[in-house]
Amino acid sequence: MKPNEFVLLIAGFGLVAATGCMEVSEKVESGTRYLITGHPGGAYRPRNVNKYDLENSARFVLLDKGVERSVTCPNIEERVTDDGRLEVVANLRNRLNRRIEVQVNCVFKDDKGFPTDEASFKTLILDENAQEGVRFISMNNQSRTYTIRVRQAR
């Protein structure tokens, strides 16, 4: 270490010691060198809590851009079976003039929005401008709401 770098380093530490604790965003300037303080530690608030949370509130979501252009869901029918389980039928429609292959699943949730069970992805082939119904039945009687999710076939 060169002698003038050592002097600047000592001056920077002296300046920090003289000013005490600082906020994260503050910095100490000493000639041509900067001494940036670290974060103070502790817990942080989560960011963007309500951003990109459509799956928490919508009954039907499209998981990628490809299906956003090609698939719609004109109506969803739901009913409770005799043993208290939730049954959902969604009509998926292909908006394109070509055959597409998508995958569909359903996440069943309790009254507080927590998942109770999830159906595995089903592969669905939709002909040109065709519409087809997809049926899901929850595995238990705790399900109150649901989210049907559609993605491109992999």
pLDDT tens, position by position, 82-94: 999 999 999 999 9
* Three-point CA angle 79, 83, 84, nearest 5°: 50
Contact (Cβ atoms closer than 8 angstroms) between residue 121 and residue 104:
yes
- Residue 81 reports pLDDT greater than 90: yes
The pLDDT of residue 26 is 47
> What is d(CA 109, CA 118) in angstroms, rounded to the nearest whole number?
9
What's the confidence (pLDDT) of residue 133?
Answer: 94
Quote the pLDDT of residue 66.
86
Distance CA 110, CA 10 (A): 61
Confidence of residue 57 (pLDDT cuts 50, 70, 90): confident
pLDDT for residue 79 is more than 90: yes
pTM: 0.68
CA pair distance 72, 91, nearest whole angstrom: 8
DSSP state of 99: -
Tell me, what's the pLDDT at 151? 94
Average pLDDT rounded to a whole number, residues 32-51:
67
**Hey, where are the domains in the chain?**
3-36, 56-152
Task: Let me know if domain 56-152 sits in CATH 2.60.40.3230.
Answer: yes
**Tokens 């996440």, located at residue:** 107
The mean pLDDT of 72-82, rounded to a whole number, is 94
Q: Which of 22-26, 36-40, 52-56, 63-67 has the lowest mean pLDDT?
A: 22-26
Q: Give the C-alpha separation, 7 to 33, whole Å.
A: 11
pLDDT value, residue 94 = 94
Provide, rounded to the nearest whole percent, the portion of the chain with pLDDT above 90.
Answer: 56
- Give per-residue pLDDT as tens, 102-141: 999 999 999 998 999 998 999 999 999 999 999 999 999 9
Q: CA 47, 113, 78, 62: dihedral to nearest 10 degrees?
A: 20
